[in-house]
Structure 1
Amino acid sequence: MLLAPAEVSNYLIQIVVEGTGVLDRDRVEDAVQRAAEACPGARLVLAGRRGLDWMDGGAPPRVRVLPGDGLDRETFADSGELFRPLGGKRGEDNNEVVILTGERPALVFRIHHAVMDGRGALMWIAEVFRALRGEPLREARSTVTDADLLRDLRPSSRSVRKPAGRPPLRAPEPERHGSFFLRRTVQGTHPALVAKVTVALTDAIGEDEVVYGVPVDLRRHRPEERSTGNLAFGTRLSVRRGMGWETVHEQMLRALDENDELVSMPSAGMLDLVRRLPAGVLLKMTKGRSQAAFVLTHLGKVDLPEFSCAGFTATTVYSLPVWGAHVAPTLTMVEVEGRTEFFLGGDAAPGLVERGRALLDAVERALANGGGPLHGRQTPDDGSTLAGLLTASLRENARSVAIRAGGAEVTYQELDARAADIAATLIAHGVGPGAVVSLLLPRSVDAIAAMVAVLRCGAAFLPLDVGHPAPRLRDLVMDAKSPVLVTDRSARRSGVLPSGCAEIIVDDIDADRHKAPDPERKEPLPGDLAYLVYTSGSTGRPKGVQISHRSAANYATWAVREFGLDRDSAFPLFTSLAFDLPMTAIFPVLLAGGRIVLGNEEDAVPVRIREMLRDGSINSIKLTPSHLRLVADLDVRPDGVRLLVVGGESFPASLAEKAQRMFGPGCRIVNHYGPTEATVGCVTHTYDADRDTGATVPIGRPVDNMSVHVLDERRAFVSPGEPGELFLSGVQLAMGYRNRPDLDRDAFVRLADGTRAYRTGDLVRLLPAGELEHLGRIDVQVKIRGHRIEPAEVEYALMTHHAVDEALVVARPSGDADRRILCAYVVTNADIEAAELVAYADSVLPSYLVPAAIVVTGELRHTRNGKIDLAALPDPFGNDALPGTEPQWRDENEAAVAVIWERILGISRTAFAPDSDFCRLGGDSVALLTMVKSVATEVAKIDDNAMLRNLAAIISKPTIENMATLARNPDRAGRTSYDRSTFH
């Protein structure tokens, strides 16, 4: 954009890098200087008074420090000191860096648009951060100009046609009212973003046709050039109301292919002349002219680590729109780690700011695809803690039975007294707020009393499994930094107690030995740690999940209400205390005044449950589906069970139906979903045989004060009914992992609106009834013949066969350790050959989803925690090597296309199959054009124009098979429905 020096101070690119940490001015100044040496375009200043000639001023951009607190980061209103003019006078700096201090530290890079465009600015900013990290800098010393590119490229452009779209709009210069900025952060990054935004804006604006200016980076014609200069020139995009984004995207691709931005540019000589024109002449030339009704500037995707350094971690990057007297309303877009930052700038005339917000609303709705968060009931935070709720219940229900163990009964009053004795001993050992007390105890009265005692001290407890190896237990106690380990004589083990950790034997605690706890001791706060549970880690190292009092209190009070727990409720406690599954049988029951039933510690779980069901000592129970299947096979018909809570695994509808018959119509069956990181359970559904007709029981809707978000791989909302990863937010989220900030960053993320969320790794979809269905795991996703496969999809298909009760699909190595094949393990209810199941799978699944082997087995072995033991699964092929899986191309065209894909994508062609999708393998729009042209010239041996006539068919099905077919017959053009996830 060429502007007169008198006006030029308003035409600034302003890129903001927000983060956490501290930015030291001296370090920033040194980095800015070093980056300016590597990128001398950052030092350009005006060389004369009349035109826009530039010279190297020799000095790096200035660095200023301003207070950031109180600055409105959504509108940047009343931020005059930040937005002081730059440039416009001979020798005056055109660029500067502003450090914003405070709770949201940031670097604001203010850059004159005449010397840099957005991509050039990002190039220089990246070098500033490389300097801050102490890394070698990448020079950008090219002085190539747009006129230089035009001289070289225009003769070879395809056409000298006039640019597409309507003629430039000509209107009197509008009255100016100052400018406004509006920020909007939208969930996810989005393929074909510009096309989708133009469609949303056109529909919202309400005009029959809107012309958009879309800057194009001219560096694409000289990828070897590293220049920070202003090398952007716009193409015009005409969008009619009612157009689909696919049509607009195709129009953009064709414009790129035809070098539309070069055709639109003035001649090289004219560009040179304009730069030498006096300021007044330039103003007269630009007055009253607008090339577009709207300008869309997409700066692409940014990698936050590239904009981080020691002491400062970038959390987002966004760009304020260029704004001035002759600029159309402008929308900037930056894609960053699962969200898209939009900033709208325009004339602050009456009503236009509100109109701008409405336009951003329309864009956000369009990109949400009809999806959005699903919220549970919202209740006010009353400041409750788990410790406070338990204390109140113990006193209120003093005479009721709290625990039944064999023939003995313990009242709430007795449990309260036992907890007080243990608490007094803990306090005597210095236990208080902030401490983590390890509990190595069997399921017993003392174990429950110890939990209450620890909470009463203001500390947190870590439950350990008495059956785990001593070295593992020792590692957990050390990782938790426990000052005290509580155990009893039956569970006491040598080699568990680390140095510096005291041991308390509960058998030795006498009620008269210690005074009661100091009544003046402060109760824990809602945000304090209540308990710590270790789960297996993907790195091989267990990770400690930290649950606060607020989280535990929310779950427990919700469970009391939702499950209808009361003083008559009797819940068995039969699984290891080292997991969060038994928490349902402890805290909600105690808050409701019900009783906990302890079975014989020596009996196997199924036997223990059978005896409790037979003697009628329980009326509520929580099981994993695996445990439930074992119970359902027992010769028992329980009477009086009113609540069955099932969780921990996918819950087959066939098993739910069987359980309903077993427990009777009066038993409520609840599917209870929730990872440890979201406090026991956070999504639930009550089974209904008439409605739940799918293969699995839905997991349902979120509990009180929790929300769910179903997002795709770009963290954009998926449309209802489409599969996506489940993200959880709300008060039940864990505080994070113990001593594992590296895991926290990946697992606990920030959504677009700043909401803290946990990414579960679970694949779900929203059913028409507004409830979630669990489909499997994201993190067991495998790649077969170039396809990313979700085993849950295969499991679901196999379980639709009438003879299959249970199915598990895993990927096993085949030959090369990096290659995998699908193997299925099924439990059946009738004699059936594996070959018949393979044929059935082949009839309902694409070939690449059919397992290479299906093993019919009598049972799937389980771990102590009730989960399927993957390590125990047999190898269906033994030591026999499987046949190689090199792609078998049907003709030389397919083989040739695969070679081209390998070259462009940088992926070995052994990963491709005829139906591999180019865009899902990482190809963006420009790469797609390059691929199409290469296939045309190298395989079809035709002019690429002939192949580009089939662009619509290619967009809808960018596969090797389709490209090879089109190479054989370029005149074959067919249009099918578009895949929403096709384009980046």
Structure 2
Amino acid sequence: MLGEHTVIELFQQQAARWPDRPALVGDGGRLTYAELDRATARVAQVLVAEGAATDEPVAVLAARGTQQLVALLGVLRSGAPYVCLDVEQPQGRLAAQLADSGARILLADRPQPEFTGTALRIGDLPRAPAADLPRPAPADLSCLVYTSGSTGAPKGVAVTHGGLANYARHVVSLLDCADERRSFASVTSLATDLGNTAVFPALLSGGCVHLVPSEVVLDPVSFARYARTHALDYLKITPSHLAAFLSFPDTDVLPRQALILGGEALPWELVDLVRARGRCRIINHYGPTETTIGSLTYEVGAAEAARRPGATVPVGHPIRATEIRVVDARLTPVPDGTTGELLISGAGLARGYWRAPEQTGERFVTLDDGTRAYRTGDRVRRLEDGSVEFIERLDQQLKIRGHRVEPAEIEAALRLHPEVARAAVTPVRDGMGQQVLAAFVVPASPAAPNVRDLRVHMSELLPQHMVPSSVEVLPALPFTLSGKLDRRALARRVGGAAPAGRG
């Protein structure tokens, strides 16, 4: 039914089939499929006239809402890949991402005097002559998604049209929602790939995507009211975000059809809370940005909930056109039940890291049989039913509220402060059992830096979820006998144990 078209072509098919159906709801109003089709076509025509081209990113900087998604879809329709910039991030970080992307065209909802390329206001686009729009190939880039980088700077993951379409087609099949008039809730930033689980499957199936306003997303009572008013069918959310919602008694935030959880390990206790509140399907979802949003899924039925394979809910089985391997340090497959690193290959594999061939070569490897695969850095094992259980990270990478966090990037930001000589960041558990960040710095002079100044400094360089909850000044950092930084000793200073893990 969905063939091998790109997501923008599949959206156009739905627009021709259901022109009067609602397609998009958000700050800025409601658009039908026909209205969204016309709006994105206009953006695409302007971009083509301005020189938008295959594999040349177009940047989008706009507040969460209908204009933002119209701009993103318009970029895809022009044949260029988009790079979505989150307006909530510090200006310095946005400038770094914009420069790294090399974008010559910027679509924005506000003036950007610092940008030296072609800046276009989304709500005031010029008229452009009608022209045939290009048809992207599966290998062409659809978007750049920036994630925290282990080298101290964000890195852009180059996602292809083929990978994005493969993922969206799988979700439509998984949810069995093709041609159904369903409502999908998007509650995360479109600058990350978490939100795409709602956006593209909705528009490929004749459903309606709700870009839930930020102030509603943060308040369980407001979100429950929104969910009830708009009869939301599907919700993709991180376990920690859902747990915060469910901590409010008698607040019904669950969707009518299916709850998709991802971005972090899913505790069985949270599954129990969901089952006590509602009857929706519960689907665990796993996948690094490098393999396009999601690569494995696991639906928790009554039997699985009773049997509870693994310490947390398994991350599941591969999606369509995806292959996984569990390997040792030499990339040799290990027997089922034995732990090893998870490798992912197949249609969702990203092209690599944008303008970073060395980093690409480290993580995207070619195996002995010629298969190209991504080294996830996740230690896992296969269970008896063939599903995969996540165990821990093999490096220092963390997940904080569903966001990938490299402590090295935070440490690099701290070292930019003139009063900091050395820095270390490690995860700890707060009083609610949630994973948070703690920072430790060694001063560059006898006078200790002001902790408040350090927090302001980090807030100017890092998104809020990467700013540590605590900062402590030490005369020196602790090291183990083997000469490695002793992160567990640091964690004990704030009464926690340094946990590893992501889902």
Q: 1:606 to 1:719 in 2, by over 3 A?
A: farther
Q: 1:603-628: CA deviations, max 9, x gaps?
A: 45234533323434312100111111
Q: Is the 8 A contact 1:415 1:449 kept in 2?
A: yes
Q: Which position in structure 1 is the counterpart of 2:357? A: 741
How many Å apart are 1:870 and its aligned residue? Answer: 7.5
Q: Is the 8 A contact 2:345 2:374 kept in 1?
A: yes
In the alignment, structure 1 segments of 5+ residues that lack a partner are 1-378, 782-790, 793-809, 830-864, 887-906, 912-984
SS at match of 2:325: strand
Q: For 1:956-971, what aligned pairs fall within 5 Å after superposition? A: none
Which structure has the larger Rg?
Answer: 1
Name the TM-score, length of structure 1 as normaliser. Answer: 0.41
Does the alignment pair 1:871 with 2:453? no
User: In the alignment, residue 17 of structure 2 is paired with which amino acid?
Assistant: E
Q: Is the 8 A contact 1:684 1:701 kept in 2?
A: yes
Distance 1:727 1:867 in 2: 31
Does the alignment pair 1:563 with 2:175? yes
Does the alignment pair 1:507 with 2:123? yes
SS at match of 2:164: helix
Q: Which position in structure 1 is the counterpart of 2:161? A: 549
Q: Is the 8 A contact 1:723 1:765 kept in 2?
A: yes
Q: 1:23-70: CA deviations, max 9, x gaps?
A: xxxxxxxxxxxxxxxxxxxxxxxxxxxxxxxxxxxxxxxxxxxxxxxx
How many Å apart are 1:398 and its aligned residue? Answer: 1.1
How many Å apart are 1:493 and its aligned residue? Answer: 4.3
Does the alignment pair 1:825 with 2:438? no
Q: 1:739-794: CA deviations, max 9, x gaps?
A: 1101111010011111000001111111112110111211139xxxxxxxxx99xx
1:772 to 382, 388, 402: 388
Distance 2:478 2:136 in 1: 62
How many Å apart are 1:467 and its aligned residue? Answer: 1.5
Distance 1:432 1:538 in 2: 30
CA RMSD of aligned residues (A): 3.4
Q: 1:724 to 1:437 in 2, by over 3 A?
A: same
User: What number of residue pairs does the alignment pair up?
Assistant: 434
Distance 1:448 1:458 in 2: 16
Name the TM-score, length of structure 2 as normaliser. Answer: 0.78
Distance 2:189 2:478 in 1: 44
Q: Which has the higher contact order (CA 8 A, sep 6+)?
A: 2
Q: Which position in structure 2 is the counterpart of 1:415? A: 36
Q: Which position in structure 1 is the counterpart of 2:366? A: 750
Q: 1:584 to 1:603 in 2, by over 3 A?
A: same
Distance 1:468 1:696 in 2: 32
Distance 1:403 1:821 in 2: 40
Does the alignment pair 1:658 with 2:279? no
Q: Is the 8 A contact 1:648 1:673 kept in 2?
A: yes
1:452 to 51, 57, 73: 73
Q: 1:882 to 1:638 in 2, by over 3 A?
A: closer
Q: 1:821 to 1:590 in 2, by over 3 A?
A: closer
Distance 1:660 1:670 in 2: 12
User: In the alignment, residue 701 of structure 1 is paired with which amino acid?
Assistant: H
SS at match of 2:45: helix
Q: For 1:119-158, what aligned pairs fall within 5 Å after superposition? A: none
SS at match of 2:245: helix
Q: 1:874 to 1:407 in 2, by over 3 A?
A: closer
Q: Is the 8 A contact 2:27 2:65 kept in 1?
A: no
SS at match of 1:435: coil
How many Å apart are 1:880 and its aligned residue? Answer: 9.1
Q: Which position in structure 2 is the counterpart of 1:291? A: none
2:330 to 703, 714, 717: 714
Q: Is the 8 A contact 2:60 2:108 kept in 1?
A: yes
Does the alignment pair 1:488 with 2:109? yes
How many Å apart are 1:440 and its aligned residue? Answer: 0.4
Q: 1:133-168: CA deviations, max 9, x gaps?
A: xxxxxxxxxxxxxxxxxxxxxxxxxxxxxxxxxxxx
SS at match of 1:690: helix
Q: Is the 8 A contact 2:310 2:389 kept in 1?
A: no
Q: 1:874-919: CA deviations, max 9, x gaps?
A: 66xx859899976xxxxxxxxxxxxxxxxxxxx78xx9xxxxxxxx
Q: Which position in structure 1 is the counterpart of 2:138? A: 526
Q: 1:338-387: CA deviations, max 9, x gaps?
A: xxxxxxxxxxxxxxxxxxxxxxxxxxxxxxxxxxxxxxxxx9x9542223
Q: Is the 8 A contact 1:616 1:639 kept in 2?
A: no
Distance 2:49 2:467 in 1: 45
Q: 1:826 to 1:721 in 2, by over 3 A?
A: farther
How many Å apart are 1:401 and its aligned residue? Answer: 0.5
Q: 1:919-960: CA deviations, max 9, x gaps?
A: xxxxxxxxxxxxxxxxxxxxxxxxxxxxxxxxxxxxxxxxxx
Distance 1:436 1:823 in 2: 34
Q: For 1:48-447, what aligned pairs fall within 5 Å after superposition? A: 383-405=4-26, 408-447=29-68
Q: Is the 8 A contact 2:112 2:119 kept in 1?
A: no
SS at match of 1:758: strand
Q: 1:601 to 1:638 in 2, by over 3 A?
A: closer
Q: 1:622-644: CA deviations, max 9, x gaps?
A: 01111111111134124752111
Q: Is the 8 A contact 1:434 1:529 kept in 2?
A: yes
State the identity %. Answer: 36
Distance 1:386 1:629 in 2: 32
How many Å apart are 1:554 and its aligned residue? Answer: 0.4
Q: Which position in structure 1 is the counterpart of 2:318? A: 702
1:682 to 295, 298, 303: 295
How many Å apart are 1:416 and its aligned residue? Answer: 0.4
How many Å apart are 1:421 and its aligned residue? Answer: 1.4
User: In the alignment, residue 391 of structure 1 is paired with which amino acid?
Assistant: Q
SS at match of 1:871: coil
